[in-house]
Amino acid sequence: MEKLLIAIVNGLVEKKEEASVTVSKSPEDITVYNIHTAKEDVGRIIGKNGKIIHAIRTVMRAAASKNGIRIAVEIDS
């Protein structure tokens, strides 16, 4: 799952060396993926009216549902 998110993020940002993803677990047993990018690239991840991040979350949830896990995708700037 993490590799999928990294591949998506690296395809969107200009400064690929500053892009990373961290994974943590919430108390509700939800896997949380935090996207870290350069400040200039945050807008590329969010997109107009949040359409890009919404699409990323949709793809990640679909992949997670196949594995029977619950996830959340957040952006850390």
Q: If pLDDT is split at 50, 70 and 90, which confidence band does 77 have? A: low
Q: What confidence score (pLDDT) does residue 45 get?
A: 96
Q: If pLDDT is split at 50, 70 and 90, which confidence band does 17 have? A: very high
> Mind listing the pLDDT tens digit for each residue in 35-76?
999 999 999 999 999 999 999 999 999 999 998 999 999 998
Show me where the domains of the chain are located.
2-76
> What secondary structure does DSSP assign to 6-43, as a single string?
HHHHHHH-S-GGG-EEEEEE-TTS-EEEEEE--GGGHH
Reported CATH class of domain 2-76: alpha beta
Name the pTM for this structure.
0.90
CB distance 76 to 23 below 8 Å:
no
pLDDT at residue 10 is higher than 70 = yes
